[in-house]
Structure formats: C-alpha cells, structure tokens
Amino acid sequence: MSAEKDIAFSLEIREAFREVPDEKYLDYGGHAVKLRTMVLGWMFLSGLGPLVQGNPQESPVIFPVLKGPYLGQTLPGMKAELFAPGIVSTGMTERTIATTPDGREIYFELAFGRIVTIMMTKVENGRWTEPAIAPFASDLKYFHFEPCLSADGRKILFLSNRPRQDDKPKPGWAYQHIWAADRKEGGQWGEPYDLGDPINSGQAEFFPSLADDDTLYFTRSTPSGEKPMIWRSRCVGGKYQLPEALPDTVNGKGSLYNACIAPDESYLIACVDGREDSLAPGLPNYYIFFRSANDRWSEGINLGADINFPGAAANAPYVARDAKYFFFGSTKTKPFNFSTNPVTSQMLLEYFTGPQNGDSDIYWIEASFLKKLRPAASK
C-alpha cells in the first residue's frame, strides 16, 4: 500500500472508530463491556491500533466517568462477580489487586505479551483516573507483579525480576525477589529498591502479603520451582526478622503459593496444588487456614465451588484492608455460544478480547463467609 493510500486508510479507520457509540455495551458472560473497548482491542490484535490512536491528545478513546467506591462498581453480595469488566478485567491477564486503606487508589497486575507490569488508578477531582502503569513499575524491560500495600498505604511491595546488586541481568523470571517503593511527601512513589536480606536470598521469593502490624507473609521456592512454601517474617523496629516457614498444618499438604494474610492475621488464604480434595483435579484451588490466638494453625479448608470455579485455576487471593471484600484471580472461561455458522475471525476476536477468555480475571465477593468456615477447634 502506498504512503498516500496508507494515510487515507488510517483516516477512514479512525473516523469509523469515532462512529462507534460510546454508550453502546455488549454482553460478555453476563457483564456489560463497552463496545468501543472491544473494538479497540480487536484493532490492536489486528495491527490497526496505531491507526486509531494517532496523537494521544486527539485519541477518540474516552475513559468513562467513574465515581464512588471501587471504581463505582456495584458492590457484590454472597456471589462472586467479575470485578470491573472492561476496566480492570479486560481479557488480558489480571490476577492480583491491592487497595489503599482509604480506598482511593487501586493497584493491579497486568500481563499482555512481553508486558508484565502493575497498573494503578486513583480518585482525582471526584472521579477515577484511567488505569496507567504505576511509576515504580514503569521500566518495562523488567517485570513487576503482585502488588501489596502496607496498612498505612506508605509502602508497596511487589515481585520483580530486576537483578539484585552484583547480579548479572538475565531474561525472563530467572530472578524472583520482593522489591519495594516508599511514598514520598506529596503522595508520589519513590524509586523501587530491593527489600534485601533476610527476605531475599538465592532462592525465589514472591507474592508478598502484609498484616496490619507489617508482619510479612510470602512464598519462597528454589529457582527450579521445587515445592514452594509459605514463610513469615515479623517486623521489629522497622526491620524484617529472619523468616520462618509456616508449620506442616499449612505447608504439609500439596504445594502452597501466593498466600494472602488477613489484615488481623486471623486467617490465611493460599493457592494449593496437588491436594486430593481439590475440586478441579490437576488445577490449584483456594484454601483457607485459620490461626488461633496462640499462633496455632488449622488444616486447610477448600473455599468451595463458589470460589473454585469448575475447570478454573486459582492464582492470587486478596482480602481488602477493611476485610469486607475478598478478591481472587481465576481462569474461568465463558462458553462458546456462537449461534451462527461459520464462526468468523471477527467473532473469535471479540470473544478473545474480553474477560473470561481463558486468561486470568479478577473476581470479588462479600467476605463475611470466610470467618464462618472456621472450625470450632481453632477458635
């Protein structure tokens, strides 16, 4: 195609995209997703994204006005719902989410192709901003994943493949360690830094989770990925102490990883693989482990089919700081309900550029059911 024809074609595409009504929604797995969002995703997958973007200041894509708690989403009840479809759960890979104590900032991980990063959105002038890459995760030659905020919102921990001091850069997930960033005066985030010894070691450390008193729970495994386990480090005088592995009542059955501690440390929810009571044989499920006042842990209890969807893998739990809502990542897939034949490439593209396409999405549910699962013996 000649340069003149290419320019003309790009203008036609951009004008056509502007004609897609902003208020038009499509139904994806029972959730309304903006048609403009789906069309843009299709264009990017088709290589046409740059044609509709043009000058960012002239972009036809307008982020909707969202007001109220949790991006203005309808709060869930006792049934798990997809969280913020088309905004957070988009069809790319989203698993872990974290919120500030005041609920005015949300961080979530996103992976798409070679991009593995942490997104953030916050309330400005009474409305939520369009999700954008968090400043401490902006160097895209490195991976950033699994955000975790402290109880005061002044520190954020996350997994990164950045090399530690004296380590030579290596591709992929050769390095898995916990990094951090601190909030500066004015609310901006400082530069990321290695959390250091004794948390990070020659092994792989990932998925940090902080209790209200800054006690750190995290996963540690060998670089080759042999049986991961959940570890705990108390914070004394602002310093993390030598970590200890949780007892066999927690780590003994199956392979545990990606564990979230309740804010008051009364329970822990983990992804567990290889247990005979899994509801999806061959796939990890979510289990809850209760902690007593004398630091004894209960056996793991499966969270059931309402959380462990049939045929879906558990990957990242999160309990909001106020303990009102439980968020979790899942690979739940919507059915192929195509009523026409043949199935066209556009139909497939629309399917795969929305949530519940087989990649991980984020769900949420009212969290009061969790404590009701506590066995009487562990109280």
In angstroms, what CA-CA distances link 181 with 147, 190, 218? 11, 6, 17
Closest CA to 138 of 122, 170, 163, 162: 162
Average pLDDT of span 105-132: 95
Q: Round to whole Å and give the CA distance between 260 and 269.
A: 5
Q: Would you say residue 315 has pLDDT above 60?
A: yes
The SS3 assignment for 275 reads coil
Which position has the token pair 């940090």? Answer: 208
- The reported pLDDT for the residue numbered 161 is 96
| pTM greater than the 0.85 cutoff | no
Q: Would you say residue 54 has pLDDT above 70?
A: no
Burial of residue 146 (CB within 10 Å: 0-12, 13-18, 19+) is buried
- The reported pLDDT for the residue numbered 340 is 77
Confidence of residue 339 (pLDDT cuts 50, 70, 90): confident
Mean pLDDT of the chain: 85
Q: Round to whole Å and give the CA distance between 266 and 39.
A: 45
Return the minimum-mean-pLDDT range out of 15-24, 65-74, 78-87, 243-252.
Answer: 15-24
Q: CA torsion sign, 113 to 117 to 122 to 124?
A: negative
Domains (ranges, CATH) in the chain? 1-62 (no CATH), 70-378 (2.120.10.30)
The SS3 assignment for 123 reads strand
CA–chain centroid gap for 241, Å, is 27
Q: Round to whole Å and give the CA distance between 165 and 190.
A: 18
